[in-house]
Structure formats: C-alpha cells, structure tokens
C-alpha cells in the first residue's frame, strides 16, 4: 500500500516560486501591511488624533484658565478700588448732573407729600473714578492695563442704584431733618472716557417724593439764616446705598457685581441767588416778607347761588433758573384770620386752590379760586375786624396754610386799597329838629346814605342797624373825614353799642356839638344799581329820634351863634356833619350764624355831609 507523501512545511527560507498567471497579486492584508511601512494602522491614527485633540484642549484650557485668572485679577482690582473709594468721593469726582431742566408736580397730598417728575441730564465718569483715564506719561504696561479697564467699564455699561430715603438737614444742625427725599431705583449709564463737554450725559426723568418735616420752625429758621449769610449748606444722610451691575431688569452676570455702602453723607453747598426787586442775600440782610414775594393784582368776592366765591390773580417773583421749566397742578391752601389773644385759635374763613400754572419770566402769574367755608359761631368778630381794617385802608392780617405742609403757617397781610375806599357816601340828614328838654338838647331827623363796597366785592348786603358818632359844625365841613385809627378789635360780635370815640384834641374849628345815640338805630336797606369803579351798593335809611345833642366844651358861643342863624336867618342855617359810623350787615351766602342772623359789623366808617336847619322845622320849643 502506497503511503501518501508527507506535506512540506515552508519556513520562508526556500526559493521564491516563480509567479504564474494564477498567482494572486496581493497576499493577505496582514502580510502586505507588515511588508509595506508607508501605510499606518488604523488604531495608530486614532491614537494620534486623540493626542492632537488632547493637546488642543489642554492648550485651550490653559489659555482659558490664564484669561480667567487675568480677568479675576482685574475684577478683583476693580472691586477693590470701588470698595475702597468712598461714596462721597464718587459723588464729588465722578457724578455729573445738569439741571433740572423741567419739573412737574405729579401729585401732592398731606399723607404722601409732594411727588415730582424731575427731568435732567446725568452721567458717571467711571473711568476717572477708577483711575482708567489715559495719561501721556503712562507706560506701555499701564496703558494696556487701563485699556482693559475701560473695556470692562464699556462691557458693564450701566449700574442700578438703590437708595434708602435721603434725609436732608442743615450742616449747622445735622440732627434736625428738614426734608426727606425718596426715589425708586435708578439706572445710571457708565462712561469710560467722557469728552470735555457735556454731550455724553444721558437724559433722565426721575419721580421724586418730597416730605417736609412737621417742624416748620426749623425750615423757616434755615431759610432765614441762609438768606442772612447768603450761603446755603446742606447735608444728606443715606442710611443704605446699593449699587448693582446691569440695568433695572438685568439678571445676568452683570447683576452679580454688587456694592453696598451704609451711612452715606453727601454735602451740597450753594450760593443763595439774588431775586429781582429784593435786597441781596448776605450781609445780615433779613429774609424778605411774604408780601414782598407775592403781589395781589386783583380779586373778586361775589354771592353766587347762596354761597360766597373767591377769585384772585397774583404774581410772584420767580427765583428759579431761566432754563428751568416747571409745571404745577392745582395746589390747596387755607386762609385764616388770626386771633388777637393767644388763647383763642385763629378762624379759618376760606379754602382756595391755585389753578395749574407754569413758570414765566421774570414773575410767575397764577390764578386762585375757592370759597368761604362754614364759619364757627365765634368768627364774626374776627371777620368784622378784617373787613373793617380793609375798608379803613389798613392792611388786614391773615394766615396762609396748606394741607401739604400742615405745620407751616405764613403770616402776612391782605393789602388794603389805596386810596382808602369811601364806604358811606352822600350822607344827608333830612327833617332835622333840635329841641330842649330841661337843660339837655335832643336832635331828631332821618339819615340817608349809600353803603358802597370796595371794587371787587360784589356780594349781596342788607344793612339792618347803624350807629353814628357825629360832630356838628356851623357851616359845611371842608376837612377830610378821618376814620377810626384804632378800630374795634373785639373777637366777639358787639351786641352792645360800640364805644364812643374820644373827642378830638384840639377840637376842630366851628364844631359845636356831638351827637351819639344810646343804642343802635334800626335801618332800612334797598339795593341799587352798580356804582362805577366800585362793588355792590345799597341805600340805607335810619331814623333819629330824640338823640342827645351835647354841646362841646368851650363851644357854647358857637352853639348860640348857630341857633341865632336858625332863628333869625331867612333861609335857616347850614350845619355840617362829620364822624364815623358802624353798620351791621348781613351778607348773602356767608355761611355762619352767631345769634344775630349772621350779621357782621363794619366799624370805623368815616362820613361827612350837611343838613340845612330852618326856623320852622329845625327848632322845637327852644
């Protein structure tokens, strides 16, 4: 049996077999790869790619870490500088404000104070405050450092400032708050390198609430002291201030940059401006009175539908800068009449409001409207004194208050007309008779007069009683009539006759008798048409019956001569009468009742006239 021939193992050391047409061109991949060094295995290529990616990542990470470290150092430097810089220094060096350019009064109440919308321009020179402004002597490294700082400021762009209420006080008395100012959080634009002009400032409009202190004496004292020295120095107190990066509604990375300060005390010093027509502030000049600042141009008091309405026009000196626009809505005020005694409170008589107005130059012109308020029972005396002072040509004392500043009382005067108005006109005595009763003389007759109210007072009046105080002259009176210089200043309505005036000293020439009734004389009143250049007018008639006629001391001869003219003269004798009178009137629409049906007494009204006394009708049983 033939055995098969054993197979030969090729160990690679034999001769190469010649290639034939059937010999494969390529062997297996492993053999070809091992024999061709120019072709890289796949796993080696992947390792090389991973190595390169790792190198790029490590280099990038290193750069980022370096950049983050640099930025962290810069941010820490900025934060350190911002933290070390005191807020007062930032306000002084970096904050730039121009204006206000316009102020609008949004609302005003006694509870919330006055809300203003203040328009102006504002900016913060952050580059200057942080020391990042370029200088000519900067080194390359320092200039590079400042460039990065300015880039950081431009990147931050803006901050939001939140302040607690600002308490403003005088630097002389920092513990006495004059006014409290509140404002909502404010967005402030940062500027890295502002130009020399103010074109970089950003227009802003800020709602501000102002609440004056109830201690109005402190405000008045500060204003007077500032005017006396000519310089105003104020200190603010901000209990807490917070500066946050970004805008009001920014919640990104900028908002993480926060600075907080406590007990910030900014200082404002300014010169008190001069006001036209007033003494220059400073040099111990006194603070001007209210009547020097405000001038009443015209007014009207009228009875309308059972009420008393008030209208007036006034001007005030404009102390504000020429370029400031100001708009105010209706502002309320109360008018009161002061009491003559400290124990008696003042009497509020009118509630008025200023109509909306804007600033004008050089004076502010505004209108006032309102009406008389319900008057208490004890107000007739004060009201009577006010009217009596006015019609006698004396400036009447008044007080002005406002619910916006409840504790502030402005004492001023209501200017009287000049020349003094003539209230009693065309005074005549008709059917006058003089008759003796024992050793006394008595006069009778009928008094006719016009009661003409001053220009601007167009109220309905009804004179119910009169009280004349008369001097009788031999012949017509040529001297002007003088009123009562003192007047009557009782707070209560006079139910008794007014006190008799003392006789003039020396006695006027040709005066020989004095007629004063013992009580008020009833009067009749009829309205008449308008009197030119005057207010409403009424005709008054009062009857005199057996009123004592007293011969003046040392004028018995003048009295005898006058009686002789009456008896022996063909046309009787002309007697002049001169004096003052009190008139009790009721005013239509005046809302008070005090036991006398709302009567108000006008005292010290001067008058003069004449009467012809004939033989048959002038003397009785003489």
Q: Do 224 and 332 belong together in one domain? A: no
Non-local (6+) Cβ contacts of 598 within 8 A are: 380, 586, 587, 590, 592
Judge contact between 377 and 383, C-beta under 8 A: no
Beta bridge partners of 108: 114
Distance between CA atoms of residues 499 and 485, nearest Å: 14
Q: Do 255 and 137 belong together in one domain? A: yes
Residue with tokens 């390529």: 26
φ and ψ at residue 77, rounded to 5 degrees: -65, -45
Weakest mean pLDDT among 100-109, 136-145, 157-166, 502-511: 136-145
H or E stretch at 115: strand 113-125
Flag whether pLDDT at 11 surpasses 90. Answer: no
Flag whether pLDDT at 1 surpasses 50. Answer: no
Flag whether pLDDT at 194 surpasses 90. Answer: no
DSSP annotation of 285 reads P
Closest CA to 383 of 539, 494, 527: 494
Q: Which residue has the higher pLDDT, 71 or 513?
A: 513
The two structure tokens encoding residue 440: 């006394």
Residue with tokens 């040392």: 554
In this predicted model, what pLDDT tens digit does every residue of 221-270 receive, in sequence order?
898 899 889 988 998 888 998 888 888 888 888 888 788 888 888 888 88
Average per-residue pLDDT in the chain?
Answer: 78
Quick one: how far is CA 360 from the chain centroid?
Answer: 16
339-353, 359-373, 492-506: range with highest mean pLDDT: 359-373
Mean pLDDT, rounded, for 383-402: 85
Give the pLDDT confidence score for residue 492 in this predicted structure: 38
Q: Examine residue 436 and state whether it is found in any structural domain, yes or no.
A: yes
Q: Do 380 and 343 belong together in one domain? A: yes
Distance between CA atoms of residues 442 and 547, nearest Å: 5
Task: Quickly state the pLDDT bin for 87 (edges 50, 70, 90).
Answer: low
Distance between CA atoms of residues 305 and 489, nearest Å: 31
Domain limits at 376? 290-414
Give the pLDDT confidence score for residue 351 in this predicted structure: 93
Q: Do 568 and 457 belong together in one domain? A: yes
Q: Examine residue 159 and state whether it is found in any structural domain, yes or no.
A: yes
In this predicted model, what pLDDT tens digit does every residue of 210-224 receive, in sequence order?
888 888 888 888 988
φ and ψ at residue 248, rounded to 5 degrees: -60, -40
Judge contact between 329 and 108, C-beta under 8 A: yes
Q: Do 353 and 266 belong together in one domain? A: no
Cβ atoms within 10 Å of 289's Cβ, excluding its own: 13
Task: Quickly state the pLDDT bin for 25 (edges 50, 70, 90).
Answer: very low
Judge contact between 283 and 230, C-beta under 8 A: yes
Judge contact between 316 and 297, C-beta under 8 A: no
Q: Examine residue 561 and state whether it is found in any structural domain, yes or no.
A: yes
CA torsion through residues 33, 36, 41, 47, sign: positive
Q: Examine residue 50 and state whether it is found in any structural domain, yes or no.
A: no
Q: Examine residue 212 and state whether it is found in any structural domain, yes or no.
A: yes
Q: Indicate the SS3 state at residue 468.
A: strand
In this predicted model, what pLDDT tens digit does every residue of 528-581 receive, in sequence order?
877 788 888 889 999 988 888 899 999 989 888 888 888 777 777 888 888 888
Q: Which residue has the higher pLDDT, 515 or 439?
A: 515
Total of domains in the chain: 3
Task: Quickly state the pLDDT bin for 309 (edges 50, 70, 90).
Answer: very high
Distance between CA atoms of residues 515 and 547, nearest Å: 7
Alpha helix locations (H) across 230-358? Answer: 290-293
Residue with tokens 């908002």: 255
Q: Which residue has the higher pLDDT, 192 or 133?
A: 192
Distance between CA atoms of residues 317 and 294, nearest Å: 7
Q: Is 113 left (phi over 0), alpha (psi -120 to 50) or beta?
A: left
Distance between CA atoms of residues 423 and 536, nearest Å: 11
Task: Quickly state the pLDDT bin for 55 (edges 50, 70, 90).
Answer: low
Flag whether pLDDT at 367 surpasses 90. Answer: yes
Q: Examine residue 70 and state whether it is found in any structural domain, yes or no.
A: no
Q: Do 379 and 453 belong together in one domain? A: no
Judge contact between 517 and 545, C-beta under 8 A: no
Task: Quickly state the pLDDT bin for 12 (edges 50, 70, 90).
Answer: very low
Task: Quickly state the pLDDT bin for 42 (edges 50, 70, 90).
Answer: low
Q: Do 142 and 174 belong together in one domain? A: yes
In this predicted model, what pLDDT tens digit does every residue of 413-430 receive, in sequence order?
888 888 888 888 888 888
Mean pLDDT, rounded, for 432-442: 78
In this predicted model, what pLDDT tens digit does every residue of 64-81 receive, in sequence order?
554 555 555 555 555 555
In this predicted model, what pLDDT tens digit does every residue of 88-140 receive, in sequence order?
666 767 788 887 888 888 888 877 888 889 898 988 887 777 777 777 777 77
Flag whether pLDDT at 467 surpasses 70. Answer: yes
Q: Examine residue 339 and state whether it is found in any structural domain, yes or no.
A: yes
Flag whether pLDDT at 518 surpasses 90. Answer: no
DSSP annotation of 419 reads S
Flag whether pLDDT at 393 surpasses 80. Answer: yes
Q: Do 428 and 321 belong together in one domain? A: no
Q: Examine residue 368 and state whether it is found in any structural domain, yes or no.
A: yes
DSSP annotation of 619 reads B
Weakest mean pLDDT among 48-57, 113-122, 186-195: 48-57
Closest CA to 607 of 584, 585, 577, 587: 577
Instruction: Print burial letters for 238-275: b (CB count within 10 Å at least 16), e (below 16).
Output: beebbbbbbbeebeeebeebebeeeebebeeeeebeeb
Q: Do 408 and 428 belong together in one domain? A: no
Give the pLDDT confidence score for residue 347 in this predicted structure: 86
């Amino acid at each position: 049996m033939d055995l098969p021939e054993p197979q030969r193992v090729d160990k690679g050391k034999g001769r190469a077999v010649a290639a034939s047409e059937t010999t494969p061109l390529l062997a297996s991949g492993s053999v070809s790869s091992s024999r061709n060094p120019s072709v890289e295995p796949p796993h080696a290529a992947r390792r090389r790619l991973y190595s390169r990616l790792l190198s790029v990542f490590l280099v990038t990470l290193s750069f980022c870490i370096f950049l983050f470290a640099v930025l962290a150092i810069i941010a820490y430097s900025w934060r350190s500088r911002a933290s070390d810089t005191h807020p007062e220094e930032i306000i002084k060096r970096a904050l730039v404000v121009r204006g206000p350019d316009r102020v609008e009064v949004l609302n005003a109440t006694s509870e919330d104070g006055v809300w203003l919308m203040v328009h102006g321009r504002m900016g913060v020179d952050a580059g200057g405050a942080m020391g990042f402004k370029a200088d000519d002597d900067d080194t390359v490294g320092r200039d590079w450092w400042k460039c990065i700082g300015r880039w950081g400021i431009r990147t931050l762009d803006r901050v939001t400032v939140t302040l607690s209420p600002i308490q403003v006080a005088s630097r002389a008395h920092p513990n006495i708050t004059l006014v409290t100012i509140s404002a909502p959080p404010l967005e402030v634009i940062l500027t890295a390198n502002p130009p020399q002009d103010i074109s970089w400032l950003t227009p802003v409009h800020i709602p501000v609430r102002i609440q004056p202190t109830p201690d109005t004496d402190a405000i008045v004292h500060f204003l007077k002291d500032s005017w006396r020295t000519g310089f105003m120095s104020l200190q603010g107190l901000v209990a807490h201030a917070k500066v946050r990066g970004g805008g009001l509604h920014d919640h990104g990375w900028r908002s993480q940059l926060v600075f907080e300060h406590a007990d910030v005390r900014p200082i404002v010093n300014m010169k008190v401006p001069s006001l036209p027509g007033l003494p220059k502030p400073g040099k111990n000049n006194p603070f001007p009175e209210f009547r020097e600042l405000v001038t009443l141009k015209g007014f009207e008091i009228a009875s309308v539908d059972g009420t008393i309405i008030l209208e007036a026009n006034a001007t005030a000196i404009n102390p504000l800068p020429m370029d400031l626009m100001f708009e105010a809505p209706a502002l309320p005020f109360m008018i009161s009449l002061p009491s003559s005694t400290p124990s008696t409170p003042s009497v509020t008589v009118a509630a008025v409001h200023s109509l909306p107005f804007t600033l004008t130059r050089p004076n502010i012109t505004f209108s006032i409207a309102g009406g008389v308020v319900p008057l208490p029972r004890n107000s007739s005396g004060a009201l009577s004194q006010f009217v009596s002072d006015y019609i006698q040509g004396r400036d009447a004392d008044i007080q002005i208050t406002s619910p916006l500043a409840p504790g502030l009382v402005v004492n001023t005067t209501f200017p009287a007309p000049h020349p003094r108005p003539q209230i009693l006109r065309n005074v005549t005595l008709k059917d006058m008779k003089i008759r003796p009763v024992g050793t006394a003389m008595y006069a009778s007759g009928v008094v006719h007069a016009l009661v003409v109210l001053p220009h601007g007072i167009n109220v309905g009046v009804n004179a119910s009683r009169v009280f004349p105080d008369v001097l009788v002259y031999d012949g017509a009176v040529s001297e002007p009539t003088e009123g009562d210089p003192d007047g009557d200043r009782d707070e209560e309505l006079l139910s008794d006759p007014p006190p008799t005036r003392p006789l003039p000293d020396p006695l006027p020439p040709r005066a020989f008798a004095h007629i004063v009734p013992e009580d008020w004389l009833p009067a009749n009143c009829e309205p008449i048409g308008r009197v030119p250049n005057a207010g409403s007018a009424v005709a008054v008639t009062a009857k005199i019956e057996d009123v004592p006629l007293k011969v003046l001391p040392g004028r018995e001869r003048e009295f005898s001569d006058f009686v002789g003219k009456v008896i022996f003269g063909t046309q009787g004798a002309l007697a002049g009468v001169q004096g003052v009178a009190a008139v009790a009137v009721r005013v239509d629409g005046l809302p008070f009742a005090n036991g006398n049906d709302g009567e108000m007494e006008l005292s010290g009204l001067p008058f003069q006239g004449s009467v012809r006394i004939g033989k048959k009708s002038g003397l009785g049983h003489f």
